Amino acid sequence: MEGLSANAAAALPYIWDFWAIRGHQLPPAGDWRTWVLLGGRGAGKTRAGSEWIRWMAEGATPLARGRAKRIALVAETLDQGREVMIEGPSGIRAVSPPDRRPKWEATRKRLVWPNGAEARVFSARDPEGLRGPQFDAAWGDELAKWPKARAVWQMLQFGLRLGRRPRQLVTTTPRRVPLLAEIMKAPGTVVGRAPTSANRANLAPDFIAEMEREFGGTALARQELEGEFLSEEPGALWPRAILEAGRVREAPALERVVVAVDPPVTGHAGSDECGIVVAGVASEGGKRVAYVLADESVQGLRPEGWAARAVAAFETFQADRIVAEVNQGGDLVESVLRQVAPDVPYTAVRASRGKAARAEPVSAKYEQGLVRHVGSLPALEDQMCAFTGDRRGGSPDRVDALVWAITELLLKGGGGVPRVRGL
């Protein structure tokens, strides 16, 4: 700092390449049309959007032409557009250097830069407002909250037609909005993700700790803090709402614990996952309630590798039995497990019905509130929420292991002598 000239020191706060959080606050390279930035609360999405608009509108000098001359700013409401995207602490005017700061013309709902570039603000409640204007750049903020999202997005695409390479940025905390999923999958879209923790230096010291204490291990935390897009297939046997309703921080004393294994046909880097799920059961109010304790699934290991993982889970959770599907491996499955632990209690199960038929009774137990998840099991839950009764193709290995575990504990009587233990 001591070696900088007065001009350089004055300019430094506005050099975004120097201050940006690498990995999500700078625009991606390549020939893209849409940049989707999914972020948790306070992850710096608005600042990234404001700085990208600056980068598009500003030239090398205050009066030089920038990359874009006609820009659309779309927010949930006009007030939010002004209060967040323009005048907010991370808004466009706040992050702009004094000699290039755009002027806000309230009556025309637009920003005007000294070089003649302008940005107009539009409400996501009024798709017709976007009919007619044309742009070479656009920024849509919190698209997952837009009340008329699809109609507004369609009108925006019709208007994004100026220049050699019109581009648009979408910044949003992800929610299960079909339009957002479609945009993310569209050709020409690149997706960035920004967890709240990446911006911890600019947040209250105890904010992240408090949020993790309050919401840690929930789908809400994955969405609102990690910036993950949590999909759910229409007709999924396990809606996320049911999983969330049954989530607990810890299990009670359990009568039985099993490790269920759905082994892959082959054992190499390209093979299916080996589903390994740990679950236990307790008696509560005259009912037997299952608790899913862990998802230890692995991929790309040879048989002795996944067998060692299953036995390790058996020992860690002081389980009573390993339950493994043998449709593909037959006696080989037991042989491999006993190479690792010769005396491990073992039950072989064979599928006589399709995956959906086996899964539906287990799904019913979830609906009855008789299965609960201990903490967060994101990979397993994502697979559950993508599993439908008419599923075709693929192999939901984690779900298969889960189904065998719950079937053993709740649908077969469990077998063996119950014994209470604490975990």
pLDDT score recorded for residue 304: 92
Query: Residues 52-67: pLDDT tens digits?
Result: 999 999 999 999 999 9
Give 207-212 contacts, CB < 8 A, sequence gap 24+: 207/42, 211/41
* Residue with the larger pLDDT of the pair 196 and 320: 320
Residue range 190-195: mean pLDDT, rounded: 89
The helices-and-strands tally (H runs, E runs) of the chain is: 15, 16
Give yes or no for a contact between 263 and 271, defined as CB atoms under 8 angstroms apart. Answer: no
* Residue with the larger pLDDT of the pair 194 and 260: 260
pLDDT at 251 over 70: yes
Whether pTM > 0.75 for this model: the answer is no
What is the number of residues in the chain?
423
pLDDT score recorded for residue 416: 43
pLDDT score recorded for residue 1: 76
Residue range 41-53: mean pLDDT, rounded: 92
Q: What percent of the chain has pLDDT over 90?
A: 60
pLDDT at 389 over 90: no
pLDDT at 394 over 60: no
pLDDT band for 300, please (50, 70, 90 cuts). Answer: confident
Q: Tokens for 119, please give them.
A: 């940005």
pLDDT band for 221, please (50, 70, 90 cuts). Answer: confident
pLDDT at 41 over 50: yes
pLDDT at 281 over 70: yes
pLDDT at 173 over 90: no
Query: Residues 333-375: pLDDT tens digits?
Result: 889 999 999 999 999 998 777 788 888 899 999 999 999 999 9
Residue range 144-170: mean pLDDT, rounded: 95
pLDDT band for 422, please (50, 70, 90 cuts). Answer: very low
Residue range 99-114: mean pLDDT, rounded: 96
pLDDT band for 34, please (50, 70, 90 cuts). Answer: very high
- Paired strand residues for 284: 287
pLDDT band for 11, please (50, 70, 90 cuts). Answer: confident
Give yes or no for a contact between 195 and 221, defined as CB atoms under 8 angstroms apart. Answer: no
Measured CA angle at 323 (ends 356, 363), to 5 deg:
30
Q: Tokens for 245, please give them.
A: 């309703």
pLDDT at 80 over 90: yes
pLDDT score recorded for residue 240: 85
Q: Which residue has the tokens 């201050």?
A: 19
Give residue 267's Cα distance to chain centre: 29
Most confident stretch, 12-21, 231-240, 351-360? 12-21
Give residue 92's Cα distance to chain centre: 28
Q: What is the DSSP string of 312-331?
A: HHHHHTT-SEEEEE-TTTTH
pLDDT at 417 over 70: no
pLDDT band for 79, please (50, 70, 90 cuts). Answer: very high
Q: Tokens for 130, please give them.
A: 């976007």
pLDDT score recorded for residue 329: 54
Residue range 246-260: mean pLDDT, rounded: 95
Give yes or no for a contact between 46 and 181, defined as CB atoms under 8 angstroms apart. Answer: no
Residue range 8-17: mean pLDDT, rounded: 87
Spatial strand order in the sheet of 118-123: 103-105, 110-112, 118-123, 70-75, 137-141, 167-172, 34-39, 189-194
pLDDT score recorded for residue 36: 96
Return the number of other C-beta atoms located less than 10 Å from residue 417's C-beta.
8
Residue range 13-32: mean pLDDT, rounded: 87
pLDDT score recorded for residue 395: 56
Q: What percent of the chain has pLDDT over 70?
A: 91
Burial 280-312 (b: 16+ CB within 10 A, else e): bbbeeeeebbbbbbbbbbbbebebeebbbbbbe
Residues with Cβ within 8 Å of 382's Cβ and at least 6 positions away in sequence, in order, are: 230, 231
